[in-house]
């Protein structure tokens, strides 16, 4: 039981880290994509 609980906790921590990563980087990635689309459409 203890091992399973520890694994679940690790999964939760990994998900939290991933959420933080996504929240930090998604706006940058989206702005880069927007810039690329603008360049492609302007040609």
pLDDT digits (tens, 9 = 90+) for 3-13: 667 888 889 89
Say how far apart CA 19 and CA 38 lie, in whole Å: 28
Domain count, the chain: 1
Mean pLDDT of 19-37: 87
Q: pTM for this one? A: 0.45
Q: Provide the pLDDT confidence category of residue 41 given band limits of 50, 70 and 90.
A: very high
Say how far apart CA 28 and CA 11 lie, in whole Å: 26
pLDDT given at position 2:
59
What is the domain range of residue 22?
1-43
| Unique residue bearing structure tokens 């459409």 | 41
Mean pLDDT of 13-22: 87
- As a whole number of Å, the end-to-end CA separation of the chain is 60
């Amino acid at each position: 039981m203890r091992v399973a609980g520890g694994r679940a906790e690790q999964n939760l921590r990994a998900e939290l880290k991933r959420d933080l990563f996504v929240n930090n980087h998604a706006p940058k990635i989206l702005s880069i994509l927007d810039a690329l689309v603008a360049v492609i459409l302007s040609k």
